[in-house]
Structure 1
Amino acid sequence: MNTAKRREIFTRFRAANPKPTTELVYRTPFELLVAVVLSAQATDKSVNLATAKLFPVANTPQKMLTLGQEGLESYIKSIGLYKSKARHLIATCRLLLEQHDSEVPQNREQLEKLPGVGRKTANVILNTAFGQPTIAVDTHIFRVANRIGIAPGTTVLEVEKKLLKFIAPEFRHDAHHWLILHGRYICKARKPDCPHCLINDLCEYKEKILPL
Protein backbone atom coordinates (compact mmCIF):
# COMPACT_ATOMS: atom_id res chain seq x y z
CA MET A 1 0.00 0.00 0.00
CA ASN A 2 1.41 3.39 -0.96
CA THR A 3 1.74 6.52 1.18
CA ALA A 4 -1.06 8.42 -0.55
CA LYS A 5 -3.53 5.61 0.09
CA ARG A 6 -2.58 5.36 3.76
CA ARG A 7 -2.98 9.11 4.18
CA GLU A 8 -6.42 9.05 2.57
CA ILE A 9 -7.52 6.19 4.84
CA PHE A 10 -6.70 8.17 7.98
CA THR A 11 -8.05 11.39 6.52
CA ARG A 12 -11.41 9.66 6.15
CA PHE A 13 -11.24 8.14 9.63
CA ARG A 14 -10.54 11.59 11.07
CA ALA A 15 -13.37 13.22 9.12
CA ALA A 16 -15.83 10.58 10.36
CA ASN A 17 -14.60 10.59 13.97
CA PRO A 18 -12.42 13.63 14.82
CA LYS A 19 -11.87 12.76 18.49
CA PRO A 20 -11.89 8.99 18.95
CA THR A 21 -11.26 7.47 22.35
CA THR A 22 -11.50 4.22 24.25
CA GLU A 23 -14.90 2.73 25.06
CA LEU A 24 -13.68 1.88 28.55
CA VAL A 25 -15.15 4.22 31.17
CA TYR A 26 -12.52 5.87 33.38
CA ARG A 27 -11.69 9.21 35.03
CA THR A 28 -8.05 8.86 36.08
CA PRO A 29 -4.93 7.09 34.78
CA PHE A 30 -5.26 4.55 37.60
CA GLU A 31 -8.86 3.75 36.69
CA LEU A 32 -7.80 3.32 33.05
CA LEU A 33 -4.97 1.01 34.09
CA VAL A 34 -7.38 -1.15 36.08
CA ALA A 35 -9.92 -1.21 33.24
CA VAL A 36 -7.34 -2.16 30.62
CA VAL A 37 -5.95 -4.98 32.76
CA LEU A 38 -9.50 -6.28 33.26
CA SER A 39 -10.27 -6.00 29.53
CA ALA A 40 -7.85 -8.75 28.48
CA GLN A 41 -10.00 -11.46 26.84
CA ALA A 42 -13.13 -9.60 27.95
CA THR A 43 -15.44 -7.05 26.34
CA ASP A 44 -15.30 -3.37 27.21
CA LYS A 45 -19.01 -3.58 28.07
CA SER A 46 -18.44 -6.29 30.69
CA VAL A 47 -15.53 -4.32 32.18
CA ASN A 48 -17.58 -1.12 32.38
CA LEU A 49 -20.38 -2.96 34.19
CA ALA A 50 -17.90 -4.23 36.78
CA THR A 51 -15.96 -1.00 37.26
CA ALA A 52 -19.18 1.00 37.64
CA LYS A 53 -19.55 -0.81 40.97
CA LEU A 54 -15.85 -1.12 41.79
CA PHE A 55 -14.58 2.43 41.26
CA PRO A 56 -16.98 4.15 43.72
CA VAL A 57 -15.48 1.87 46.38
CA ALA A 58 -11.85 1.53 45.24
CA ASN A 59 -10.51 4.02 42.73
CA THR A 60 -7.00 4.52 44.13
CA PRO A 61 -4.13 2.07 44.73
CA GLN A 62 -4.54 2.42 48.52
CA LYS A 63 -8.30 1.80 48.48
CA MET A 64 -7.91 -1.21 46.19
CA LEU A 65 -5.14 -2.64 48.33
CA THR A 66 -7.32 -2.17 51.40
CA LEU A 67 -10.12 -4.01 49.62
CA GLY A 68 -7.80 -7.00 49.27
CA GLN A 69 -7.72 -9.72 46.64
CA GLU A 70 -10.89 -11.49 47.76
CA GLY A 71 -12.74 -8.20 48.07
CA LEU A 72 -11.63 -7.19 44.58
CA GLU A 73 -12.64 -10.57 43.19
CA SER A 74 -16.19 -10.04 44.44
CA TYR A 75 -16.50 -6.99 42.16
CA ILE A 76 -14.92 -8.48 39.04
CA LYS A 77 -16.01 -12.14 39.17
CA SER A 78 -18.22 -11.63 36.10
CA ILE A 79 -15.05 -11.05 34.04
CA GLY A 80 -12.97 -13.90 32.64
CA LEU A 81 -9.73 -14.81 34.46
CA TYR A 82 -10.87 -12.64 37.36
CA LYS A 83 -8.75 -14.42 39.98
CA SER A 84 -5.44 -13.87 38.20
CA LYS A 85 -6.46 -10.31 37.27
CA ALA A 86 -7.29 -9.55 40.89
CA ARG A 87 -3.93 -10.96 41.98
CA HIS A 88 -2.10 -8.83 39.41
CA LEU A 89 -4.01 -5.68 40.33
CA ILE A 90 -3.36 -6.05 44.05
CA ALA A 91 0.36 -6.55 43.36
CA THR A 92 0.31 -3.55 41.02
CA CYS A 93 -1.34 -1.38 43.68
CA ARG A 94 1.38 -2.35 46.14
CA LEU A 95 4.11 -1.37 43.67
CA LEU A 96 2.41 1.92 42.82
CA LEU A 97 2.28 2.80 46.51
CA GLU A 98 5.82 1.69 47.29
CA GLN A 99 7.65 2.94 44.19
CA HIS A 100 5.53 5.60 42.44
CA ASP A 101 3.73 7.63 45.15
CA SER A 102 0.44 6.04 44.03
CA GLU A 103 0.84 7.53 40.53
CA VAL A 104 0.72 5.54 37.29
CA PRO A 105 4.15 5.88 35.64
CA GLN A 106 4.33 7.67 32.30
CA ASN A 107 7.03 5.58 30.64
CA ARG A 108 6.94 2.14 29.05
CA GLU A 109 9.76 0.58 31.05
CA GLN A 110 8.13 1.32 34.41
CA LEU A 111 4.65 0.39 33.21
CA GLU A 112 5.80 -3.01 31.94
CA LYS A 113 7.26 -3.80 35.36
CA LEU A 114 3.75 -3.75 36.82
CA PRO A 115 2.14 -7.22 37.19
CA GLY A 116 -0.31 -7.98 34.39
CA VAL A 117 0.93 -5.10 32.23
CA GLY A 118 2.47 -6.06 28.90
CA ARG A 119 3.42 -3.98 25.89
CA LYS A 120 -0.15 -3.65 24.60
CA THR A 121 -1.53 -2.45 27.95
CA ALA A 122 1.40 -0.05 28.37
CA ASN A 123 0.72 1.39 24.92
CA VAL A 124 -2.95 1.99 25.76
CA ILE A 125 -2.02 3.81 28.98
CA LEU A 126 0.67 5.91 27.32
CA ASN A 127 -1.66 6.86 24.48
CA THR A 128 -5.02 7.32 26.18
CA ALA A 129 -4.01 8.59 29.62
CA PHE A 130 -0.89 10.54 28.71
CA GLY A 131 -1.35 11.52 25.06
CA GLN A 132 1.69 9.76 23.66
CA PRO A 133 1.54 8.66 19.97
CA THR A 134 1.72 4.93 20.66
CA ILE A 135 -0.30 2.20 18.96
CA ALA A 136 -1.50 -0.78 20.97
CA VAL A 137 -1.95 -3.68 18.58
CA ASP A 138 -4.74 -5.96 19.75
CA THR A 139 -6.50 -8.69 17.78
CA HIS A 140 -8.68 -6.15 15.95
CA ILE A 141 -5.79 -3.94 14.85
CA PHE A 142 -3.63 -6.93 13.91
CA ARG A 143 -6.43 -8.23 11.70
CA VAL A 144 -7.24 -4.87 10.11
CA ALA A 145 -3.60 -3.97 9.44
CA ASN A 146 -3.05 -7.27 7.64
CA ARG A 147 -6.42 -7.52 5.92
CA ILE A 148 -6.55 -4.05 4.37
CA GLY A 149 -2.82 -4.03 3.66
CA ILE A 150 -1.94 -0.92 5.65
CA ALA A 151 0.81 -2.59 7.73
CA PRO A 152 1.06 -6.35 7.14
CA GLY A 153 3.12 -8.40 9.56
CA THR A 154 3.35 -11.85 11.12
CA THR A 155 3.72 -10.65 14.72
CA VAL A 156 2.05 -8.00 16.86
CA LEU A 157 5.35 -6.15 17.32
CA GLU A 158 6.07 -6.16 13.59
CA VAL A 159 2.64 -4.66 12.86
CA GLU A 160 3.10 -2.05 15.59
CA LYS A 161 6.49 -0.96 14.22
CA LYS A 162 5.16 -0.76 10.67
CA LEU A 163 2.15 1.30 11.74
CA LEU A 164 4.40 3.75 13.58
CA LYS A 165 6.65 3.93 10.53
CA PHE A 166 3.98 4.31 7.86
CA ILE A 167 1.33 6.46 9.58
CA ALA A 168 1.88 10.20 9.20
CA PRO A 169 2.69 12.00 12.51
CA GLU A 170 -0.56 13.99 12.42
CA PHE A 171 -2.60 10.76 12.63
CA ARG A 172 -0.48 8.71 15.05
CA HIS A 173 -2.10 9.74 18.31
CA ASP A 174 -5.61 8.70 17.21
CA ALA A 175 -4.68 5.82 14.87
CA HIS A 176 -5.03 3.20 17.60
CA HIS A 177 -8.64 4.18 18.31
CA TRP A 178 -9.67 4.53 14.67
CA LEU A 179 -8.28 1.11 13.79
CA ILE A 180 -9.74 -0.70 16.79
CA LEU A 181 -13.19 0.80 16.24
CA HIS A 182 -13.00 -0.06 12.54
CA GLY A 183 -12.09 -3.64 13.41
CA ARG A 184 -14.74 -3.92 16.10
CA TYR A 185 -17.71 -2.60 14.11
CA ILE A 186 -16.91 -2.76 10.38
CA CYS A 187 -13.90 -4.93 9.51
CA LYS A 188 -15.11 -7.75 11.76
CA ALA A 189 -13.32 -11.08 11.96
CA ARG A 190 -15.89 -13.48 10.52
CA LYS A 191 -17.94 -11.22 8.32
CA PRO A 192 -16.50 -7.81 7.46
CA ASP A 193 -19.18 -5.25 6.63
CA CYS A 194 -17.55 -4.19 3.36
CA PRO A 195 -20.64 -2.51 1.84
CA HIS A 196 -20.70 0.01 4.70
CA CYS A 197 -16.94 0.54 4.88
CA LEU A 198 -15.81 4.13 4.33
CA ILE A 199 -12.43 2.97 2.96
CA ASN A 200 -13.76 0.19 0.73
CA ASP A 201 -12.18 1.64 -2.41
CA LEU A 202 -8.79 1.96 -0.70
CA CYS A 203 -8.75 -1.43 1.02
CA GLU A 204 -6.54 -4.13 -0.53
CA TYR A 205 -8.43 -7.10 0.90
CA LYS A 206 -8.76 -9.56 -1.97
CA GLU A 207 -12.08 -10.97 -0.77
CA LYS A 208 -13.78 -7.67 -0.03
CA ILE A 209 -17.37 -7.14 -1.14
CA LEU A 210 -17.88 -4.06 -3.25
CA PRO A 211 -20.87 -1.85 -2.39
CA LEU A 212 -23.90 -2.12 -4.67
Structure 2
Amino acid sequence: MNNEKRLLIFERLAEATPNPTTELNFSTPFELLVAVVLSAQATDKGVNKATAKLFPLANTPQAILALGEDGLKEHIKTIGLFNSKAANVIKLCQTLLEKHGGEVPREREALEALAGVGRKTANVILNTAFGEPTIAVDTHIFRVANRIGLAPGKNVLEVERKLDKTVPKQYKKDAHHLLILHGRYICVARKPRCGACCIADVCEFKEKNLD
Protein backbone atom coordinates (compact mmCIF):
# COMPACT_ATOMS: atom_id res chain seq x y z
CA MET A 1 0.00 0.00 0.00
CA ASN A 2 1.38 3.41 -0.96
CA ASN A 3 1.38 6.59 1.12
CA GLU A 4 -1.23 8.27 -1.08
CA LYS A 5 -3.71 5.48 -0.37
CA ARG A 6 -2.91 5.51 3.35
CA LEU A 7 -3.58 9.23 3.51
CA LEU A 8 -6.91 8.77 1.70
CA ILE A 9 -7.92 6.02 4.15
CA PHE A 10 -7.25 8.19 7.20
CA GLU A 11 -8.89 11.25 5.62
CA ARG A 12 -12.09 9.26 5.09
CA LEU A 13 -12.01 7.56 8.50
CA ALA A 14 -11.53 10.96 10.15
CA GLU A 15 -14.41 12.41 8.14
CA ALA A 16 -16.66 9.49 9.18
CA THR A 17 -15.66 9.86 12.86
CA PRO A 18 -14.73 13.51 13.52
CA ASN A 19 -14.07 13.10 17.28
CA PRO A 20 -12.67 9.61 17.76
CA THR A 21 -12.09 8.59 21.37
CA THR A 22 -12.33 5.65 23.74
CA GLU A 23 -15.73 4.21 24.62
CA LEU A 24 -14.56 3.66 28.20
CA ASN A 25 -15.97 6.25 30.61
CA PHE A 26 -13.36 8.14 32.64
CA SER A 27 -12.65 11.60 33.97
CA THR A 28 -9.02 11.30 35.16
CA PRO A 29 -5.91 9.43 33.96
CA PHE A 30 -6.26 7.14 37.00
CA GLU A 31 -9.86 6.25 36.16
CA LEU A 32 -8.78 5.49 32.58
CA LEU A 33 -5.91 3.31 33.82
CA VAL A 34 -8.23 1.25 36.03
CA ALA A 35 -10.86 0.98 33.26
CA VAL A 36 -8.30 -0.21 30.69
CA VAL A 37 -6.89 -2.82 33.08
CA LEU A 38 -10.43 -4.04 33.73
CA SER A 39 -11.25 -4.11 30.00
CA ALA A 40 -8.85 -6.95 29.09
CA GLN A 41 -10.97 -9.73 27.55
CA ALA A 42 -14.12 -7.79 28.51
CA THR A 43 -16.40 -5.33 26.73
CA ASP A 44 -16.19 -1.57 27.26
CA LYS A 45 -19.92 -1.62 27.98
CA GLY A 46 -19.45 -4.17 30.79
CA VAL A 47 -16.56 -2.19 32.27
CA ASN A 48 -18.53 1.08 32.14
CA LYS A 49 -21.40 -0.58 33.99
CA ALA A 50 -19.06 -1.61 36.82
CA THR A 51 -17.07 1.64 37.01
CA ALA A 52 -20.30 3.69 37.06
CA LYS A 53 -20.78 2.31 40.58
CA LEU A 54 -17.11 2.02 41.56
CA PHE A 55 -15.75 5.46 40.63
CA PRO A 56 -18.25 7.58 42.63
CA LEU A 57 -17.08 5.64 45.71
CA ALA A 58 -13.41 5.18 44.89
CA ASN A 59 -11.52 6.86 42.05
CA THR A 60 -8.08 7.42 43.58
CA PRO A 61 -5.37 4.91 44.57
CA GLN A 62 -5.96 5.70 48.25
CA ALA A 63 -9.72 5.18 48.01
CA ILE A 64 -9.39 1.88 46.15
CA LEU A 65 -6.84 0.61 48.67
CA ALA A 66 -9.28 1.58 51.42
CA LEU A 67 -11.90 -0.66 49.78
CA GLY A 68 -9.44 -3.56 49.93
CA GLU A 69 -9.20 -6.40 47.45
CA ASP A 70 -12.44 -8.05 48.58
CA GLY A 71 -14.31 -4.75 48.51
CA LEU A 72 -13.02 -4.05 44.99
CA LYS A 73 -14.08 -7.52 43.84
CA GLU A 74 -17.64 -6.79 44.92
CA HIS A 75 -17.75 -3.85 42.52
CA ILE A 76 -16.15 -5.60 39.52
CA LYS A 77 -17.46 -9.17 39.87
CA THR A 78 -19.59 -8.78 36.72
CA ILE A 79 -16.37 -8.46 34.66
CA GLY A 80 -14.47 -11.51 33.41
CA LEU A 81 -11.26 -12.47 35.30
CA PHE A 82 -12.30 -10.13 38.13
CA ASN A 83 -10.21 -11.94 40.77
CA SER A 84 -6.88 -11.41 39.02
CA LYS A 85 -7.89 -7.93 37.87
CA ALA A 86 -8.74 -6.90 41.45
CA ALA A 87 -5.33 -8.15 42.62
CA ASN A 88 -3.59 -6.19 39.83
CA VAL A 89 -5.52 -2.97 40.53
CA ILE A 90 -4.64 -3.18 44.25
CA LYS A 91 -0.95 -3.72 43.39
CA LEU A 92 -0.85 -0.89 40.86
CA CYS A 93 -2.48 1.46 43.40
CA GLN A 94 0.24 0.57 45.92
CA THR A 95 2.96 1.24 43.32
CA LEU A 96 1.41 4.56 42.29
CA LEU A 97 1.44 5.72 45.92
CA GLU A 98 4.91 4.36 46.72
CA LYS A 99 6.71 5.50 43.56
CA HIS A 100 4.65 8.19 41.82
CA GLY A 101 2.94 10.22 44.54
CA GLY A 102 -0.42 8.69 43.62
CA GLU A 103 -0.24 10.06 40.06
CA VAL A 104 -0.30 8.07 36.82
CA PRO A 105 3.18 8.34 35.23
CA ARG A 106 3.58 9.66 31.69
CA GLU A 107 6.51 7.40 30.81
CA ARG A 108 6.07 4.07 29.04
CA GLU A 109 8.62 2.25 31.21
CA ALA A 110 6.96 3.37 34.44
CA LEU A 111 3.51 2.44 33.13
CA GLU A 112 4.63 -1.02 32.00
CA ALA A 113 6.10 -1.64 35.46
CA LEU A 114 2.58 -1.44 36.96
CA ALA A 115 0.67 -4.66 37.70
CA GLY A 116 -1.71 -5.62 34.89
CA VAL A 117 -0.20 -3.09 32.47
CA GLY A 118 1.49 -4.25 29.28
CA ARG A 119 2.63 -2.40 26.18
CA LYS A 120 -0.90 -2.12 24.75
CA THR A 121 -2.37 -0.63 27.95
CA ALA A 122 0.60 1.75 28.30
CA ASN A 123 0.01 2.94 24.72
CA VAL A 124 -3.68 3.54 25.44
CA ILE A 125 -2.86 5.63 28.53
CA LEU A 126 -0.15 7.64 26.75
CA ASN A 127 -2.48 8.33 23.83
CA THR A 128 -5.87 8.84 25.49
CA ALA A 129 -4.91 10.39 28.83
CA PHE A 130 -1.84 12.36 27.74
CA GLY A 131 -2.32 12.99 24.00
CA GLU A 132 0.81 11.15 22.84
CA PRO A 133 0.76 9.86 19.22
CA THR A 134 1.04 6.21 20.26
CA ILE A 135 -0.92 3.39 18.61
CA ALA A 136 -2.08 0.52 20.81
CA VAL A 137 -2.74 -2.55 18.68
CA ASP A 138 -5.64 -4.63 19.98
CA THR A 139 -7.49 -7.46 18.19
CA HIS A 140 -9.60 -4.99 16.15
CA ILE A 141 -6.62 -2.97 14.94
CA PHE A 142 -4.56 -6.10 14.26
CA ARG A 143 -7.39 -7.47 12.11
CA VAL A 144 -8.05 -4.22 10.23
CA ALA A 145 -4.37 -3.45 9.58
CA ASN A 146 -3.83 -6.93 8.12
CA ARG A 147 -7.14 -7.28 6.31
CA ILE A 148 -7.10 -3.97 4.43
CA GLY A 149 -3.36 -4.07 3.74
CA LEU A 150 -2.63 -0.97 5.82
CA ALA A 151 0.14 -2.48 7.96
CA PRO A 152 0.35 -6.27 7.59
CA GLY A 153 2.21 -8.06 10.36
CA LYS A 154 2.45 -11.47 12.02
CA ASN A 155 2.09 -10.10 15.55
CA VAL A 156 0.84 -6.98 17.33
CA LEU A 157 4.32 -5.49 17.77
CA GLU A 158 5.08 -5.80 14.06
CA VAL A 159 1.76 -4.13 13.18
CA GLU A 160 2.37 -1.39 15.76
CA ARG A 161 5.83 -0.62 14.35
CA LYS A 162 4.53 -0.53 10.78
CA LEU A 163 1.66 1.78 11.73
CA ASP A 164 4.05 3.98 13.69
CA LYS A 165 6.24 4.29 10.60
CA THR A 166 3.51 4.74 7.96
CA VAL A 167 0.48 6.54 9.46
CA PRO A 168 0.40 10.13 8.13
CA LYS A 169 1.72 12.47 10.82
CA GLN A 170 -1.47 14.54 11.12
CA TYR A 171 -3.49 11.39 11.94
CA LYS A 172 -0.99 9.75 14.32
CA LYS A 173 -2.73 10.93 17.51
CA ASP A 174 -6.19 9.73 16.40
CA ALA A 175 -5.12 6.63 14.44
CA HIS A 176 -5.67 4.26 17.38
CA HIS A 177 -9.28 5.26 17.90
CA LEU A 178 -10.10 5.67 14.20
CA LEU A 179 -8.96 2.10 13.50
CA ILE A 180 -10.47 0.53 16.62
CA LEU A 181 -13.90 2.07 15.99
CA HIS A 182 -13.75 1.07 12.32
CA GLY A 183 -12.90 -2.50 13.36
CA ARG A 184 -15.57 -2.59 16.06
CA TYR A 185 -18.48 -1.38 13.92
CA ILE A 186 -17.66 -1.73 10.21
CA CYS A 187 -14.67 -4.00 9.53
CA VAL A 188 -15.99 -6.61 11.97
CA ALA A 189 -14.45 -10.05 12.36
CA ARG A 190 -16.91 -12.47 10.79
CA LYS A 191 -18.83 -10.55 8.19
CA PRO A 192 -17.27 -7.16 7.44
CA ARG A 193 -19.81 -4.51 6.46
CA CYS A 194 -18.05 -3.57 3.23
CA GLY A 195 -21.27 -2.15 1.74
CA ALA A 196 -21.34 0.48 4.51
CA CYS A 197 -17.60 1.13 4.48
CA CYS A 198 -16.17 4.55 3.57
CA ILE A 199 -12.86 3.04 2.40
CA ALA A 200 -14.17 -0.04 0.53
CA ASP A 201 -12.89 1.24 -2.84
CA VAL A 202 -9.32 1.77 -1.58
CA CYS A 203 -9.12 -1.19 0.81
CA GLU A 204 -6.97 -4.14 -0.37
CA PHE A 205 -9.17 -6.87 1.14
CA LYS A 206 -9.89 -9.29 -1.71
CA GLU A 207 -13.01 -11.00 -0.35
CA LYS A 208 -15.23 -7.96 0.08
CA ASN A 209 -18.72 -8.51 1.44
CA LEU A 210 -20.72 -5.95 -0.55
CA ASP A 211 -24.22 -7.27 0.25
TM-score range, shorter chain: over 0.9
Cα offset, 1:209, TM superposition:
2.7
Separation in structure 1 between the aligned mates of residue 12 and residue 195 of structure 2, nearest angstrom:
16
Please list, as runs of the form range in 1=range in 2, the aligned pairs for 1:102-117 lying within 5 A after superposition: 102-117=102-117
Aligned CA RMSD, in angstroms, stands at 0.7
Alignment of 1:92-103 (within 5 A): 92-103=92-103
Matches within 5 A, 1:58-69: 58-69=58-69
User: Per-residue displacement from partner, 1:140-177 (whole Å, max 9, x unpaired)?
Assistant: 00000000000000010000000010101100000000
Aligned residue number for residue 200 of structure 1: 200
Counterpart CA distance in 2 for 1:169 and 1:108 is 21
Residue 124 (structure 1) shift: 0.2
TM-score by length of 2: 0.99
Aligned to 2:48: 48
Match of 2:5 in 1: 5
Equivalent AA in structure 1 for residue 141 of structure 2: I
| Number of aligned residues | 211
Residue 18 of structure 1, CA deviation: 1.9
CA shift, 1:94, in A, is 0.3
Moved over 4 A (4+): none
CA–CA distance in 1 between the matches of 2:26 and 2:210? 38
Match of 2:181 in 1: 181
Percent of pairs identical after alignment? 68
AA aligned opposite 2:38: L
Question: SS of 1:97's equivalent?
Answer: helix
Segments of structure 2 that go 5 or more residues without pairing to the other structure are none
Unaligned runs of 5+ in 1: none
